[in-house]
Chains A and B, each alone.
Chain A
Amino acid sequence: MNTRTARRPLWLSALGLATLILFGVGAILALAVSPPDINQGDLIRIMYAHVSVAWVCFLAVGMTALFGALYLWRGRPMDDVWSVASAEAALFFGALTIIGGMTYSKPTLGVFWDWDAKLTLTALLVTLLVGFFIVRGLVDDPQRRGRVSAVIGLVTLASLPFNYLAAEWFRTLHPAKSINLDGSGITMEAAFLGILLFNVAAAALAFAYFLFERVRLGRLEVQAEASEDDPPPTGEAVHV
């Protein structure tokens, strides 16, 4: 296959369009349809943007570790490509979580940042993901590079449960969760919950689009590297 002319498949373009539409509808729901909160007023509209990217960041970290573990097990280059694409998205959504969180925190809690447990663990998560790419840049051997970064992906995953529960364990700056996965229930009102879940779906679709597009490019890069390492024969007869 000529990698130069490899075109984006139609389904991926359709996914991009669907992402754009869902993002637009999610923004309208958050900005125009959502009622103001009794305590936060219109600032509740920031919550839809902040929480959705934070959840998708967790999802991306999970996929980074999953494909990293698969690479450690099977050693297939494409598992590494998927792991790197997921890590890149995790770093993107992690940074966006912190920046959006600061924008939410200042008008509601009075400060942009505080070294409380939840925020510190989120900063640690982003730092680990930055480390993931720094280490990859330092290792030349592709197999060793894939193995080392897979381990960093697994370590990053190990920090997630602490991050998830930090706001419950240490009641400092970051508010406690309104949606609990331990069965203790949902304290968020239905009007807010529906719009939040819609925006989570929109962010998840954006993640899926970024991931598939990044994997497509990663696959082409791996193919190009492989053809450089193993050039075709130059005019000699080959008996098969």
Chain B
Amino acid sequence: MFDSWSAWTWVLIAWFELLLAYGGYLLYLRWRNRRRQNEEG
């Protein structure tokens, strides 16, 4: 399956992973902040 993938496909996947992870961590921080605010009422 993967043998047919071009070098650029792998490159774009690798950089997309980074983008997705950074965005995901920011969302996690936002969720944590909202949870704290809700707990404080």
Contact = CB atoms under 8 A, between A and B. Distances in A.
Contact of B10 (A53, A96, A103): A103
B25 to A, nearest CB: 6
Contacts, number: 65
A220 interface: yes
A45 B2 CA distance: 18
Q: Is the interface of B mostly helix, strand, loop or mixed?
A: helix
A158 B12 CA distance: 34
Interface string A83-104: 0000000001000100110011
A206 interface: yes
Contacts of A116: none
A20 to B, nearest CB: 9
Interface string A1-36: 001100000000000000000010001001100000
Q: Is the interface of A mostly helix, strand, loop or mixed?
A: helix
A23 B29 contact: no
A110 B25 CA distance: 30
Interface stretch (A141-149, A159-167, A209-217): A209-217
B32 to A, nearest CB: 6
Nearest to A19: B22
Contacts of B11: 31, 42-43, 45-46
Contacts of A220: 36
Interface residues of A, number: 30
A42 B40 contact: no
Nearest to B2: A106
Contact of B32 (A31, A50, A99, A217): A217
A107 interface: yes
A53 B40 contact: no
B25 A53 contact: no
Interface string A42-57: 1101100110010000
Contact of B8 (A30, A42, A106, A213): A42
B7 A96 contact: no
A103 B17 contact: yes
Contacts of B18: 49, 53, 96, 100
Given A27-B15, A103-B10, A103-B17, 18 more contacts: A3-B40, A30-B15, A31-B11, A42-B7, A42-B8, A45-B15, A49-B14, A96-B17, A103-B14, A104-B10, A106-B2, A206-B22, A210-B25, A217-B36, A220-B36, A221-B36, A224-B36, A224-B40
Interface of B: 2, 5, 7-8, 10-11, 13-15, 17-18, 21-22, 25, 29, 32-33, 36-37, 39-40
